[in-house]
Amino acid sequence: MRSSKAKRLSHIKPGYYNPPTRPIVVPGLHWLAVVLVGRVASLGPPHLAAMRWWSSRGVHASFRRDEEGKLLLTLLQWGRMVVHVFDQGFAGAFWLGLLLAFNLRFVLRWRKDSQLLDAQGNRRKTWRIAMGKRGWSERTIWESRRAQWVRASVLALPVRHPESPLWLVVCREPRANPLVSVDRGAHQHRRRRLARGVGLYAQVANRTDLAL
C-alpha cells in the first residue's frame, strides 16, 4: 500500500530537488467496509455494518474482487429490505451479474462510455442511448461539493445487460456532467420510483461523505 508518511516527507523542499518518481509503497493491510445509511436523517447517523481486512501478499494473499464478493455474501441476510448503492468503481458485468443472480435491489452508478443494449436491442455506449431525450421531470438535489441545492432533470430508459432488464437513470444538471446509474426494473409504472433513484444515490453519497 502507498505510504502517506513517505509522500509527506518527500515533498520538494529548499535544497531537495530529486523527489522519488514512483509512489513509495510499504507492506500493509487493505480494508473494505459497508456503511448502512437511512434514507432520512430521522433514522439516525450512518453505521458501519460490516468490514474485512485482507492482504495481497504472503501465504494468505487474496484479490480485491474476491474480498468484495465475500463481503457481499455476508449482506445477503438483509435480502431486499435494503437498497445496495454502488459507486462507479463497481460498474461492470461482474457486479451486475452478481447482484442479479442474488436478486438484490441496487442502484449502481454507471460509466457513460460503457455499453448497454437499448430498447431495440442495439449495443450502444450509454451516453448515446440518452442523447437527445428530454427528462421526465425536475428534482432538487443537494450538491455537496458546492454546498447548495440545484435543480436537475431526471430521465429513465429501459436497457438490457445482456439479457437482464434494467433501467438507465440519467440526471442532468447545468454546469456538471450527467449522473448515470442503472436500476433493476421491468415496468413503466415504476417511473416515480426510478426517478427517486438519483435522489437516493445523492443522499447516500452526501451523508457518507459527512460521516467519514
Q: What is the pLDDT of residues 9-54, one digit of tens each?
A: 777 766 666 666 677 777 778 889 998 888 777 888 888 988 999 8
Choose one of 74, 100, 133: the last residue of a domain.
74
pTM (two decimals): 0.72
Helices 93-101, 64-73: axis angle to 10 degrees equals 20
53-66 as b/e: b if 16+ CB within 10 A: ebeeeeeeeeeeee
Within a domain: 34: yes
Q: Return the H-helix or E-strand segment holding 30.
A: strand 30-36
For 13, the domain range is 1-74
Within a domain: 81: no
The model's pLDDT over 138-171, given as tens digits with 9 standing for 90+, comes to 777 777 667 778 787 777 888 888 768 888 888 7
CA atoms of 179 and 112, how far apart (whole Å): 9
Q: What is the CA radius of gyration of the chain?
A: 20
Q: Which three cell numbers stand for residue 89?
A: 468503481
User: Residue 44: its pLDDT value, please?
Assistant: 83
**Residue 184: strand pairing partners:** 166
Do residues 131 and 152 share a domain?
yes
